[in-house]
Amino acid sequence: EFLPSFLPRSRNNLEEIDDICRNVIRDMNLWGVCVVNNFLGTEKGLAVLDEVLSIHSAGLFRDGQLVSNKAGASDLKTIRGDQITWLDGKEKNCQNIGMLISKVDAIIMRANKMHNNGKLGDYTINGRTKAMVACYPGYGSHYVKHVDNPNRDGRCITAIYYLNRDWDITQNGGLLRIFPEGWQDQVANIEPLFDRILFFWSDRRNPHEVQPAYKTRYAITLWYFDAEERNEACRRYQRDKEINSKPGNS
């Protein structure tokens, strides 16, 4: 369920939300990508980072996927890639992560309402995934070029909040490179900087990769659902399950 826990916001917060919304709507409809810096402000950003660090030191991250390193088949040494854990933000010692999630919800819901009678990019957003907290250990772990939602699973917007202080892309790597469809051979290079949030369409319009990171790299990702596409995906999933469960359809 998607419960934007709207708290009565002081005046300036609402103005700020409105201002960010206008940026998100304009950039998403123009480029399909939007970057907002200083999203929470340093103090709140650090509070979120502290919670992520304590989750990491509590060993709650599942071991990352095994990826063979670029050296090729010869040495079978594999390196651990990204480590992830899923949160809904209501867990104990996660209230700042919860506050981050509520703020992103508020922006997406408001942008959804604000733009041509409640549609952002022709989507009707009515839900989202839990938050995926990701950690790239800094031994060259990377993420191969991919599309988040290549086959209409319902996810329409990807939102990634970065937590990496004093990040030097030349030393630390970890660049997110997006290859937006229709930009010809132009690419979007996004540095995973502290208190930066990034929005982009989750479908085939935005193939992207995470380049090898040489310092621990943290990010929190939310994926927002388009009501219609999600319902259709769930119906398809249900039908496939029934077909596959019938005897003889092993």
Ligand X SMILES: Cn1c(O)c(C(=O)NCC(=O)O)c(=O)c2ccccc21
Three-state DSSP class for residue 6: coil
Taking CB atoms, the residue at the shortest distance from Mn ion is 148
The correct pick among 84, 99, 169, 187 for binding ligand X (CB under 6 A) is 84
Phi, psi at 43, each rounded to 5°: -60, -50
Q: Is 143 in the site for ligand X (CB under 6 A)?
A: yes
User: Which of 82, 105 has the CB closer to ligand X?
Assistant: 82
Q: Scan residues 144-203 and list those touching ligand X (CB under 6 A).
A: 148, 160, 176, 192
Whole-angstrom distance, CA of residue 172 vs CA of residue 186: 23
Size of residue set near ligand X by CB under 6 A: 11
* Range 35-42, long-range pairs (CB < 8 A, 24+ positions): 35/190, 35/196, 35/197, 35/198, 36/196, 36/197, 36/198, 36/199, 37/193, 37/195, 37/196, 38/195, 38/196, 39/103, 39/161, 39/195, 39/196, 39/197, 40/99, 40/100, 40/103, 40/195, 41/195, 42/195
For residue 208, the minimal CB distance to ligand X (Å) is 6
User: Is residue 219 close enough to count as binding ligand X by CB under 6 A?
Assistant: yes
Closest CB to Mn ion among residues 146, 239? 146
In the complex with Mn ion, which residue's Cβ is closer, 148 or 195? 148
CB of 136: closest distance to ligand X in angstroms? 7
Q: Which is nearer to ligand X, 20 or 176 (CB)?
A: 176
148 binds Mn ion (CB under 5 A): yes
Does 153 contact Mn ion by CB under 5 A?
Answer: no
Binding ligand X by CB under 6 A: which of 34, 40, 101, 134? 134
CA distance 196 to 180: 20
Measured between alpha carbons, how far is 243 from 248 in angstroms, rounded to an integer? 10
Site for ligand X, rule CB under 6 A: 82, 84, 134, 143, 148, 160, 176, 192, 208, 210, 219
